[in-house]
Structure formats: structure tokens, C-alpha cells
Amino acid sequence: MNAIPATHMAPDELIEGGRGCGGCHNMGIKTEEQKADQLAKGYRYQNNSCDECHTRHAFSLKEAQNPKACQQCHMGYDHPQWEMWSSSKHGARYFAKKDGDLPEGAAAPTCQTCHLPNGTHENHTAWGFLGVRLPLPEDPQAAADRVTILKALGVLDPETGEPTAILDAVKAVDMARLDQASWEKERKKMLDTCTQCHSYKYAKEQLDMGDAILSKADRLMAEAIETVAALYKDGIIKKPEGYPHNYPFLLTFMHTNGANWNEKLDDLSYIDQVLVRMYMKHRMRAYQAFFHVNPDYAYWYGWNMMTEDLGEVKHLAKELRANHK
């Protein structure tokens, strides 16, 4: 990946092609100068990324409204929303309706029903992609856990607790809700969508359970981060080149500095790799699956794997300390 050290990360560098989500989610973001540069280099497409969903030849609205338009990207490692939705009750009803097993007017929500209602292209969610937000929760333990995660994301300085330049980048691309009002706005929009088919009480109960699962997942995540952070503090793990602080860094894929991603992984200790996997793969699945109303997926592919990761982190930390002595 053509990324740069997070210590020098600028807002536009989070959204450029080849840097994670920005490879596709760049609609309306590129400046006229950037688009002109792309065209000068021979890039006919992806100047506004419409052709990520509306494929280039047909450019059909009907095609873009097919859930399979989302499947091409929203599947796999850190965001398997296709697997979550298609194996949920919503997905089961969609396929049953498509096969003629449900009446034509039966409710069968697709990705677009919930995330692109009335053709909007905002596609915001209350928790955002990283599953963190501000302000901190009132519960002291939950607040401490989120602070630990924000430090490991590089958003807060591990020593001072003060915001870093990465927070400015997150603000610029609207990756997270950073105040209560913006979170409530997105939650209300989702509840309005859910209540087209469900009662308000039922919909809110389901979303509240998703919040609770995320809080429980954060307890596991924070414990793992603190275990690895102690190894950094005690000098048992050396800070990899490009890391913003002498502390675990969950956005490791942002610091490859132009080098091959697999090569840069060699710079990380194995325990760091387990920690990144725990956050980017299993925590993502734990909370995203629950919000997609797929508790079985959330548990077995998310929560259960997080407990396994935490056990491995603790075991590795014990070994590293013993070997260091």
C-alpha cells in the first residue's frame, strides 16, 4: 500500500486511492486538480467513483440497487457485510422473495434499503467504520476502555491523552461521530428506516443490544491493548519504524511508507499482528454482524474469536517476558 507514517497523515491522504476505504469511497472528494491529474495519467474511471457501483458499460440504476453491487467490496476480512446480511433474516427474505416464495409486496430489505434510502449516497452509520465515537460513555470502565482504543488508533497521545493530528484526519473524512448530536442523528435515521417494517420499541431494542455487544467487545480489546502496551513500556517490544508512539498501533496498515504490506508485517512482532487481527477482523465482525441482525455470525466469527485472540495475547506476553528475563 502506498501509505505514509501516521505521524504525518493529512486528511486528504486518508481518502486517496490505495489507502484502504479511500480506494472506493472517494465520490465527491477529489478536487478538480486531482481529477485533472488522474485524467492526465490516463485514468478514465474512478474520478468520482460512480463506476464502483454503477458498472461502466450499463451504468444502470437497477443494477446499482442490486445487493450484489455491494458484495464486490463489502465482503471478506474486515467488513464481511455481504456474509452478515445474506445469512441474516433480511437476506433470507430477499432471496426467498426473489425465488417467488414470498408475495411481491413482502418486506425484504437490501443493503440499499438501510444504507442508501431514497437514493442518498451519504451511507453514514451511528458508530462509523471503526466503531468508536465521542463523547465517552458515562460508565467508568467503558470510558477507560474506549480511551485505550483511541490511544491505540493513534487518535489520542498515549502519554498525555491529548488529541493528535490523526483526529483531524478522521474529522476531515467524517469517519466517526465525534459528538452526541451527530451520533443521535444517524441513530434516528436508522430507526426511521427500521420502523418501516418493525415497531419502534423492537428496532431500538435491537440497536441497543448492538451497542451493548460493542461495549463488551471493547472490554476484551482494551485488555489486549494494555497487555501489549506494557511490553512496549518495559522495553520488551521495540517500536517499529513509522509508529507514531511507543505504543500499540491498530492502524498499522497506514504506516507502510510505500513498501509492500507483507514486507512491513515482518517489522511487527507476532503479538502485534495478533492484536491488529483482533481489532480489524474479529472486533469488526462482533459488532457489525450484530447490527446486521446476525447474532450467530457476531458470536462465532467475532466475539468467540476475540476471546481466543485475548488468550493468545496473554500467553505470548507471558512467554516474551520469560524470554526477556
- Give the Cα separation of 265 and 261 in Å (integer): 6
- Whether 33 is covered by a domain: the verdict is no
- Whether 59 is covered by a domain: the verdict is no
- Whether 50 is covered by a domain: the verdict is no
The count of domains in the chain is 1
Phi and psi at residue 133, to the nearest 5°: -160, 170
Please give the residue range of the domain that contains residue 109. 6-24+73-115+124-324
Q: Is 162 exposed, middle or buried (0-12, 13-18, 19+ CB in 10 A)?
A: exposed
List, for residues 81-121, the tens digit of each pLDDT value.
999 999 999 999 999 999 999 999 999 999 999 999 888 88
**pTM: predicted TM-score of the whole model, two decimal places:** 0.85
Query: Does 120 or 196 have the greater pLDDT score?
Result: 196
- Cell numbers at residue 118, please? 431514497
246, 266, 278, 302: which is closest to 7 by C-alpha? 246
- Whether 68 is covered by a domain: the verdict is no
- Cell numbers at residue 33, please? 486538480
- Whether 162 is covered by a domain: the verdict is yes
Residue type, 286: A
DSSP letters, 202-240, are: HHHHHHHHHHHHHHHHHHHHHHHHHHHHHHHHTTSSPPP
Query: Does 228 or 69 have the greater pLDDT score?
Result: 228
- Whether 157 is covered by a domain: the verdict is yes
List, for residues 120-152, the tens digit of each pLDDT value.
887 889 998 889 999 999 999 999 999 999 999
The domain spanning residue 152 has which CATH number? 1.20.850.10
- Whether 43 is covered by a domain: the verdict is no
Phi and psi at residue 83, to the nearest 5°: -65, -40
pLDDT over threshold 70, residue 3: no
